[in-house]
Structure 1
Amino acid sequence: MDIELPSPPAVSALRESFGDRKPPDITRKITACVACRKQKVKCHMREGQMPCSRCKKRGLSCSVNRSLQTLLEEDVTWKGAVVQKMRRLEEAVASIATRVGMPELQALQAGPEPEDQPISPAREVVNQDPSLSQRRDSAEDREPQQTWEVIMDPRGGPASIPASCVSESGKAGLPNTMATSRRPDLISMGLVSLRQALALFETYHLRLDHFLYRILGDHISLDSVRIASPLLTAAVCSVGALHSQSLGHLFEACYSEYKSLVAAQMFSRNVNEDDIRGLCVGAFWLHELSWALIGNAVRTASDINLHSGIYKAVKGDREGYLQARLYYLVYVCDHHFSIAYGRPPMSREGFIIDSASRLLDTEHATEDDARLISQVKEWSILGQVFDTFGVDVDTPILPQSLPQLRRYSISLDTWFADWSESFKANRNVGNYPQKGVGFHFHFAKLYLCSHAFRGAPISDDTPQCMSPELEEIANAGVLSAMSILRVIVSDDEFRSFLNGLPLYFDTMLAFAVVFLLKVATKYATVIRIDTDKILSLVAQTVSALRETTQSMHKQHILVVISEGLERLLHRLPSNSTHEMVQHAPPVPEQQLGFDLGWMENMASFDFQTQFPDVDDWWLHYSTSIGPATRSMMP
């Protein structure tokens, strides 16, 4: 059916610019397709989008002959879009000229404002800050107005996702500029030079990324990362600077830009998978933002349906494979910063997690994927521990709960047996893939077995003891913590990993030390332990950490942890503690036997309960982790 439409303002403006104010001769716009016009039937075309309902139902070719009016309108629209793009390009060049100090380029960009367009106050602010103009115009270009509509997919049945009937229609019209145009990043803005950025990228890409199963995925060059996401670029540069001796001075600038990009991304609807990678990189290594970053990553990953990638991956689809492994990275990162801090994980268990091993059966799977899936399996067990025992650290474990605790311990033993010999040396991170399995095993055992100390009685007057079953579990936790510390003291290669491992290792290492100190000083009458041996091992560990952290960036969390543990050790009542710290000899490797073999005879584990007097060192560390951790202390 043909209808009459008023001439668009752009058409009228164009006509007036040529001195022709006469109404257009062509006032009818064709809105019916050729097939319907030929049959002289009403054409039902939704919002002018082909095919119409009749052609779709009959499988006919649906097309609309464009009228002269339509061609004129499209021409005006195209010209208007070009003008807007030219204006943004000019402002971008002006911003670059300002930052790199090229007045001659600024002079070329200067030009008189149109006489009929007075400068508004908002425009004056933009002119004062070209980068603000660049970012605002870019955001406006990428964020069309949000609209919603109720839809019914004729191909689907009643069994569908409930909210799928309410669709965000604006999503379909988002311009796909992510991979086709380079957006401003901290390099183009002049915060770091290209040479510095390349060095930071190499630091991250050739070493740090291999600790976390290659978060970057297919990105093997800085240019690829820059095109993909300014947020990911800033994350890589920030984490690289945090672990670089020669370029550590760039950390503050990179970190500040990263926080700005994260804040801008928080409410953006135009987010891609590489932005999620940028959030994960920051969450794994940047302590002050980790919890907020992973929360946003989980939300965004769910919003773009990363969790459904496994269904496509098992069918051989590479895009589905990349989505699935990124979702599993988000899952692991989420559990790193939830369970260990007494928070419920935001990513939950179910078919997607149970099916994680199927990713390894795809043609795209690598050893890094196997390491990632091993972590998914471990954290699935620890997630069940969290759900079963909660965070009530003042209530003792009930006798009827002990069988379930033992089952979790057996599950961890099975996990260790399945993965301990699965990985070989890596050219980027040495023997970490295999040694990391052992360390994660001990961390998990320590977390589980520390539940035995929940609500444990402490009395200086009357010595008390645990039941034999609980004491066995508690001793397993002590052995696991001691095994962790012995490796730190004796294994030079593993100490070299400390300036690169993610935050979870630093936090759990601190917990292992504090756990042993509390057991040795407050629970020595509850379980049978060698107090002097524990204190000596703790002193050696503190000494080793002090030496290791001397070359680290001052913002590295392990630097603060090392200093805090040393102060905490000095406050113990023993008069010999100070001398133990100053002169503690390293433990000979041959004396470590079963510990370096990752303790074949381990049984159960908890973590969040045993931070004793942690204020002694944690209050000197300004981070959001502090309050959350102190709230979990008994």
Structure 2
Amino acid sequence: MDTSPLPTPAGADALRESFGDRKPPDITRKITACVACRKQKIKCDMRDSRPPCTRCKRRGLSCTVNRSLQMLLEDDATWKATLAKKVQSLEAAVAELRQNQQSSLLPGPARAEPSTRYRSDEQRSSEASSSAAPGDAPGHWDVVMDEGGPATIPAASVRQVGTSISPTGPVGQQGASDLIVRGIVTLEQAQELFDVYANRLDHFLYDILGEHKNFTKVRTDSPLLLAAACTVGALHSVRLGHVYDRCFQKFLSLCAAQTIAKDTSLADIKGLCIGAFWLSEVSWNLVGIAVRAATQLQLHRSIKLALRGNKRAYYETRLYYLVYTCDHHFSLAYGRPPMTREDESIQSAQRFLATENATEDDHRLVSQVLIWNISSAAFETFGVDVDAPVPLELLPKLRRFMIALDTWRADWNERFSHNRHVQNYPRKGVGLHFNFAKLYLCSHAFRGMTPHGNPHQPVVSGHELQPDMEEIANAAVLSAKSILRAIVNDPEMQLHLNGVPLYFDTMIAFAVVFLLKVATKFSSDIRTSGSEILTLVKDMSLVLRQITTQMHRQHLLRFISEGIEKLLGKVEEASHQHPARTQPYPAADPSVQRNGQPPAQPYYMDNMDFNWLENISNFDFLSTQNTFTALDSWPFGGITLDSTSHVT
């Protein structure tokens, strides 16, 4: 055996130095004979150098070997050296796992069934989905109508109540292992959930996966992308909806790690975008991380190489367009300035389509970039102050934005063909996106207006609808009606609602609330039929009730459907207690307005109980949209109900 001294810990050296001698004791000789043989001073023959020896075994004697100081030192040095080698091997293995990100499918645990704890969670989840009330679920959402005018922030129509799922639970447990290795879902379940997303949902958003269509490749490249696809797939799966909560928690833990990660891959950014497009609880947070990561990778600078036909630059540019679209989905509609700007990459979107790598999905994606470019310019021009009327000198710009939207629709309305994954959605989606943008833009005509007949808010001079704004206001009402009719009258679009991203759900709620506000308190300004609007909203409510029956309990559209029914109930209650006028309001006397006195109006129900409306904690709306608790109830008495109409 090599008797050269082994390296010793610093603590041992310090201890020896305190006694004035840093030299470790030498091992001079070994004790190899047992006690019995040593007494007889005969040779001790031990096989494999372990007791008992041959003599003691033959005679049935106890065979022991005294451990001398030399042997103790040798054993101590041996096990320490062995342990040091094992630690080094473990560190090397961990480093390799971090680099490879689970590069191969692991046997055993990877294919094991979920743990007993998860099986019990599955049973509890199944029972809760069938027996619990919708309002008891975490992250409950509702459709609301505050006292502001129709020109409000679109997402103010949808508000979260209760306690949403907290992302703090799994933080600290994240690692390179994916949700299969963790036992959250089985390999077969993960494959099925991934297929639900990849074969249908991904095609609503212009093929986000791109080159990551293979399940094994996704699992190899990014546990975050796999978790995002499985979580969104579970949200839209009837058979595996019960695994949504635990997939969501794992996804949150991986996203939490991304907030401080120095290195982010393209696959990780795709996972963040998928979560932002479909997961209402964390959409805005994920958008911020995705924009930061895309900027860090300088995806916005890849356009120059992409225009030259570089394949990698092509993938990077289209991913930046996805981040841009996702950012604008959750900025302009919620009254926040977008984080991505109209840089060279965005300005070159049309040229991007002329490259050899461009596909029809890229045309759909670029069409979104272009329409959000228009809406972004309008946002920068008019701001988010819904209480200040649009200055008349800005009216020409407003009309130019309307013309730009009309031109956009004309350019793209007949561009897209039937898609084998989402049928006619690409073509029909053009009309819906047009009306979404037109409604948001033209609702600016109602900014600064005061509702008629509200004794708590007297009419103020200059806050009436200007004659030049009447055409724009009517265009807003027409767009809102078109949104609802496109869904009520089209069974195919009704099927697509269980798949389209959150932006659609938000704008549907906004269209409903906008029409109810106009019908109850602004019908004299636009001469619209309140009864017609109410009938349309009731038809929409019935359709939503039917299509949300099979949706996951956490799907935003389920909460929107229930909220619309509550709003209709308030309308019916107010109309029965205080029958509304059957004729439009007479024109207000200018002299009365100059004196600051409101025209005579019939009595309305202004003190209705709206305690069921809570704030949306996820959306930090600007201006007065956030002060819901300080607002009076919206007066619903301005709609005439037909004798046969009722809320079912």
* TM tier relative to shorter chain: 0.5 to 0.7
Residue in 1 that maps onto 2:491: 492
Residue in 1 that maps onto 2:626: 631
CA distance in 2, matches of 1:632, 1:415: 36
Residue in 2 that maps onto 1:549: 548
Residue in 2 that maps onto 1:199: 192
Q: Which of 280, 288, 300 is residue 293 of structure 2 equivalent to?
A: 300
Q: Which of 362, 372, 386 is residue 379 of structure 2 equivalent to?
A: 386
Is the aligned partner of 1:441 residue 2:441? no
Q: Alpha-carbon deviation of 1:309?
A: 1.3
More displaced stretch, 453-462 vs 356-365: 453-462
Residue in 2 that maps onto 1:453: 446
Kindly report which structure 2 residues correspond to 1:304-315, keeping only aligned pairs within 5 A, or say none.
304-315=297-308
Q: CA 1:614–1:332 in 2, change beyond 3 Å: closer, same or farther? A: farther
**Which digits, 9 at most, give the CA deviation of each residue in 1:570-596, with x for residues without a partner?**
101567799xxxxxxxxxxxxxxxxxx
**Contact 1:294–1:334 (CA<8 Å) still a contact in 2?**
yes
Residue in 1 that maps onto 2:312: 319
Residue in 1 that maps onto 2:562: 563
Residue in 2 that maps onto 1:123: none
Residue in 1 that maps onto 2:352: 359
Kindly report which structure 2 residues correspond to 1:338-357, keeping only aligned pairs within 5 A, or say none.
338-357=331-350
| Counterpart code for 1:526 | D
Find the residue that maps to 1:238 and give its secondary structure.
helix
Q: CA 1:317–1:617 in 2, change beyond 3 Å: closer, same or farther? A: farther
Find the residue that maps to 1:446 and give its secondary structure.
helix
**Which digits, 9 at most, give the CA deviation of each residue in 1:419-445, with x for residues without a partner?**
101000100000000000000000000
CA distance in 1, matches of 2:381, 2:442: 14
**Contact 1:561–1:617 (CA<8 Å) still a contact in 2?**
no
Residue in 2 that maps onto 1:291: 284
Q: CA 1:336–1:258 in 2, change beyond 3 Å: closer, same or farther? A: same
**Contact 2:173–2:253 (CA<8 Å) still a contact in 1?**
no
Residue in 2 that maps onto 1:229: 222
Residue in 2 that maps onto 1:515: 514
Q: Which of 250, 254, 267 is residue 261 of structure 1 equivalent to?
A: 254
**Contact 2:218–2:225 (CA<8 Å) still a contact in 1?**
yes
Q: CA 1:405–1:615 in 2, change beyond 3 Å: closer, same or farther? A: farther
Q: Alpha-carbon deviation of 1:352?
A: 1.6
**Contact 1:563–1:617 (CA<8 Å) still a contact in 2?**
no
CA distance in 1, matches of 2:367, 2:114: 51
Residue in 2 that maps onto 1:533: 532
CA distance in 2, matches of 1:483, 1:632: 30
Q: Alpha-carbon deviation of 1:487?
A: 1.3
Residue in 2 that maps onto 1:151: none
CA distance in 1, matches of 2:92, 2:539: 63
Is the aligned partner of 1:84 residue 2:78? no
| Counterpart code for 1:418 | D
CA distance in 1, matches of 2:94, 2:214: 31
| Root mean square deviation of aligned Cα | 3.7
Find the residue that maps to 1:526 and give its secondary structure.
helix
Find the residue that maps to 1:551 and give its secondary structure.
coil
Q: How many residues align?
A: 459
Q: Which of 311, 323, 328 is residue 335 of structure 1 equivalent to?
A: 328
Q: Alpha-carbon deviation of 1:627?
A: 5.9
Residue in 1 that maps onto 2:240: 247
Kindly report which structure 2 residues correspond to 1:146-161, keeping only aligned pairs within 5 A, or say none.
none
Q: CA 1:87–1:261 in 2, change beyond 3 Å: closer, same or farther? A: closer
**Contact 1:391–1:632 (CA<8 Å) still a contact in 2?**
no
Q: Alpha-carbon deviation of 1:327?
A: 0.3
| Counterpart code for 1:624 | N
**Contact 1:485–1:512 (CA<8 Å) still a contact in 2?**
yes
Residue in 2 that maps onto 1:396: 389
Residue in 1 that maps onto 2:366: 373
CA distance in 2, matches of 1:483, 1:98: 50
**Contact 2:110–2:187 (CA<8 Å) still a contact in 1?**
no
Q: Alpha-carbon deviation of 1:85?
A: 2.4
CA distance in 2, matches of 1:625, 1:520: 27
Please report the TM-score for the alignment, with normalisation by the length of structure 2. 0.65
Q: Which runs of 5+ in 2 are unaligned?
A: 1-5, 10-22, 25-83, 116-169, 578-605, 632-648
CA distance in 1, matches of 2:612, 2:370: 31
| Counterpart code for 2:487 | I
Q: CA 1:515–1:354 in 2, change beyond 3 Å: closer, same or farther? A: same
Q: CA 1:530–1:318 in 2, change beyond 3 Å: closer, same or farther? A: same
CA distance in 2, matches of 1:79, 1:366: 52
CA distance in 2, matches of 1:284, 1:253: 19
Q: Alpha-carbon deviation of 1:527?
A: 1.8
Residue in 2 that maps onto 1:605: none
Q: CA 1:374–1:618 in 2, change beyond 3 Å: closer, same or farther? A: farther
CA distance in 2, matches of 1:289, 1:397: 33
**Contact 2:442–2:476 (CA<8 Å) still a contact in 1?**
yes
Q: CA 1:615–1:318 in 2, change beyond 3 Å: closer, same or farther? A: farther
**Contact 1:288–1:623 (CA<8 Å) still a contact in 2?**
no
Q: Alpha-carbon deviation of 1:458?
A: 2.9
CA distance in 2, matches of 1:187, 1:244: 18
Q: Which runs of 5+ in 1 are unaligned?
A: 1-10, 15-20, 23-76, 103-131, 139-182, 579-611
Kindly report which structure 2 residues correspond to 1:541-620, keeping only aligned pairs within 5 A, or say none.
541-573=540-572, 619=613
Q: CA 1:495–1:214 in 2, change beyond 3 Å: closer, same or farther? A: same
CA distance in 1, matches of 2:242, 2:113: 20
**Contact 1:564–1:617 (CA<8 Å) still a contact in 2?**
no
Residue in 2 that maps onto 1:503: 502
Is the aligned partner of 1:407 residue 2:400? yes
CA distance in 2, matches of 1:465, 1:317: 56
Q: CA 1:563–1:616 in 2, change beyond 3 Å: closer, same or farther? A: farther
Residue in 1 that maps onto 2:69: none
Q: CA 1:424–1:218 in 2, change beyond 3 Å: closer, same or farther? A: same
Please report the TM-score for the alignment, with normalisation by the length of structure 1. 0.67
Matched-pair identity in %: 51
**Which digits, 9 at most, give the CA deviation of each residue in 1:493-532, with x for residues without a partner?**
0000000000000000000000000000011122211111
**Which digits, 9 at most, give the CA deviation of each residue in 1:464-498, with x for residues without a partner?**
96333201000000001001111111100000000
CA distance in 2, matches of 1:268, 1:403: 47
**Contact 1:231–1:262 (CA<8 Å) still a contact in 2?**
yes
Residue in 1 that maps onto 2:179: 186
| Counterpart code for 1:495 | Q
| Counterpart code for 1:471 | E
Q: Alpha-carbon deviation of 1:398?
A: 0.9
CA distance in 2, matches of 1:90, 1:272: 16
Residue in 1 that maps onto 2:272: 279
